[in-house]
Amino acid sequence: MKIVKYGLACILFAVGTHSAMAFDAPAQERFDHFKGEQSTSLEEALANFAEYNEKLEVVLNGELEPADMAEIHQLTYTLENALERINIELAQLAETLEEVHLGSEQLAYDRVREAARLYLETARKIEK
């Protein structure tokens, strides 16, 4: 089975390398053929992040071979998608916290109550 995985990885690597060299494509364009799992919400991003980190750790526990490198390469697409969504959500969370902060300075009780509720709703998702 490892021979088949090794052979497939070599073929994929050779085809990818040849294609990239033939078209002189930048590194980013060479590997865009994998999309990975999408993360359309914070919950989904956190779940994908945890699941694919586990998968990555399993692959790293063995002796790395070309097939493993191909698998790692594919895993990183989902991890990148998850991190992108997490970064977007955390940036929005920071903006919401700033609303709480500014509202507290101005004694804007309703503004603070609503912004803090939104802040905590998202913050609780990442505490776990």
Q: Dump pLDDT digits (tens) for 73-115.
A: 999 999 999 999 999 999 999 999 999 999 999 999 999 999 9
pLDDT value for 106: 97
**Residue 27: what pLDDT?**
46
- Residues listed for the chain: 128
User: The whole model's pTM is what?
Assistant: 0.71
Both tokens of 79, joined, read 């991890």
**Of 87, 71, 80, which is closest to residue 49 (Cα–Cα)?**
80
Distance CA 12, CA 69 (A): 11
Mean pLDDT of 55-80: 96
Report the C-alpha gap between 92 and 96 in whole angstroms: 6
pLDDT for 1 equals 41
Other Cβ atoms less than 10 A from the Cβ of 70: the count is: 20
Q: Give the Cα separation of 96 and 85 in Å (integer).
A: 17
Q: What is the DSSP letter of 107?
A: T
Listing DSSP states for 29-47 in one string gives HHTTT-------SHHHHHH
| 128 DSSP assignment | -
